[in-house]
């Protein structure tokens, strides 16, 4: 056997040995990979199973939140009117125009938080007649941080007139001024509404209820003034006096009187 | 005779080339294993984190109640406040 042939056989043997070694090592690594993937697939299956209902739940939550947002926005648009953008701008600078664009409205956005004092918008909506947006949209702020109350009061007409002309609050106590004329008896005043002297009050008629002067028979318990016997008896009322006959005159305008046709004034 | 030597040279070159290629394949296979292990750990942790997904159902219920309360409050404001 020649030397060249022997070298060839040796090289072929080395090649086969290298192939075997590397391929066996690769197969071993692939087996490890297979086991690792089996573990990973189990965990991934759990992830898929656990995250499956998330989509529906999140969609439901989102739909609820969108419904609430639409409700509040529509209420805001209804109550705020054209000042919605300015109110949003005052709370979230830079968002007023976006808000108007999102709700499909147009108009200029006036930052009411800068132009007006806190609460001016509310007072204006209550009918105080504040000059909302009058020449202050782009000019300097009318709100004076040091004298904010003065600036706010200058925005309004005085709703109650001059404060000095208003009547003062009543004083309660012994030092209170007598602003009203005292009544003689309950319900009777010495002067009429026009200031003239009122006629002297007549004698108080007998009240048909209550006291001992009444004519209405009261139920007596247990047989009158004697000691109670435990039984409740209603005393029979005395026979009522005969009702007076209606007046014969033709004064039919008074209630309770009969007119010439024998009917009440309100009957036709 | 010279052909045998030429074949020997070719076999030597093939041996080095084949050895290099197989070494590369083995290195790539070995580099996959730790990453698979890392992915398995992350997947297990993610699966454990997703145990809190059940709380979303409670959150959905709460949000429905809150939106209902907000709707009632908005209705009251609609009556209480004047329109613009």
pLDDT in tens, A64-117: 999 999 999 899 888 888 888 888 888 888 888 888 888 888 888 877 776 666
Give pLDDT, residue A61.
93
In the predicted model, is pLDDT for residue B27 greater than 60? yes
Model confidence at A248, pLDDT cuts 50, 70, 90, reads: very low
Give pLDDT, residue A219.
44
Domain carrying residue B54: 2-80
Using a CB-CB cut-off of 8 Å, the residues of chain B touching A18 are 15, 18-19, 22
How far is it, in rounded angstroms, from Cα A204 to Cα A213? 13
Using a CB-CB cut-off of 8 Å, the residues of chain A touching B71 are 68, 71
Model confidence at B41, pLDDT cuts 50, 70, 90, reads: very high
Q: Which residue of A has its CA nearest to B82?
A: A79
Using a CB-CB cut-off of 8 Å, the residues of chain B touching A47 are 43, 46-47, 50
Domain ranges of chain A: 3-51, 81-155
A 35-74 residues with CB < 8 A to B: 36-37, 39-40, 43-44, 46-47, 50-51, 53-54, 57-58, 60-61, 64-65, 67-68, 71-72
Using a CB-CB cut-off of 8 Å, the residues of chain B touching A58 are 56
Provide ipTM, 2 decimals.
0.75
* pLDDT above 90: percentage of residues in chain B: 69
**Whether B55 contacts chain A with CB within 8 A:** no
Q: Are A110 and A137 in contact (CB under 8 A)?
A: yes
Q: What is the mean pLDDT of chain B?
A: 91
* Residues in contact with A88: Cβ distance below 8 Å, sequence separation at least 6, in sequence order: A95, A96, A99
Model confidence at A266, pLDDT cuts 50, 70, 90, reads: low
Condensed to tens digits (0 to 9), the pLDDT of residues A136-179 reads 444 455 455 555 555 556 655 566 666 676 666 666 666 666 65
Give pLDDT, residue A228.
47
Provide the domain count of chain B: 1
Task: Supply angle C-alpha B31, A44, B42, rounded to 5.
Answer: 55
């Amino acid at each position: 056997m020649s030397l060249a042939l022997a070298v060839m056989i040796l090289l072929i043997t080395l090649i086969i040995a290298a192939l075997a070694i590397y391929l066996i090592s690769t197969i071993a690594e692939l087996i490890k990979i297979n086991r690792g993937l089996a573990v990973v697939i189990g965990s991934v299956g759990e992830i898929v199973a656990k995250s499956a209902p998330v989509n529906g739940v999140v969609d439901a939550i989102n739909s609820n939140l969108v419904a609430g947002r639409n409700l509040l926005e529509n209420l805001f648009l209804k109550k705020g009117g054209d000042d919605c953008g300015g109110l949003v701008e005052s709370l979230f600078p830079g968002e007023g125009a976006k808000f108007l664009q999102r709700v499909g409205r147009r108009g200029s956005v006036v930052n009411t938080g800068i132009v007006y004092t806190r609460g001016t918008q509310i007072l204006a909506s209550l009918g105080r007649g504040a000059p909302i947006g009058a020449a202050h949209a782009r000019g300097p702020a009318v709100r004076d941080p040091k004298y904010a109350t003065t600036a706010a009061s200058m925005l309004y007409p005085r709703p109650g007139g001059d404060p000095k002309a208003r009547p003062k609050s009543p004083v309660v106590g012994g030092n209170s001024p007598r602003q009203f004329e005292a009544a003689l008896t309950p319900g009777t005043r010495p002067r009429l509404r026009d200031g003239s002297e009122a006629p002297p009050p007549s004698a108080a008629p007998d009240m048909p209820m209550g006291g001992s002067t009444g004519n209405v028979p009261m139920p007596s318990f247990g047989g009158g003034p004697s000691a109670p016997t435990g039984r409740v008896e209603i005393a029979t009322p005395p026979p009522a006096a005969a009702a007076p006959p209606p007046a014969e005159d033709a004064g039919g305008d008074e209630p309770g009187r009969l007119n010439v046709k024998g009917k009440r004034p309100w009957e036709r | 005779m010279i052909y045998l030597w030429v074949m020997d040279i070719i076999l030597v070159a093939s041996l080095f080339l084949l050895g290099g290629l197989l070494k590369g394949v083995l290195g790539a296979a070995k580099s996959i294993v730790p990453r698979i292990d890392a992915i398995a750990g992350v997947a297990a942790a993610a699966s454990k984190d997703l145990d809190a997904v059940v709380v979303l159902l409670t959150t959905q219920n709460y949000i429905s109640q809150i939106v209902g309360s907000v709707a009632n409050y908005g209705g009251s404001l609609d009556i209480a406040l004047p329109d613009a």
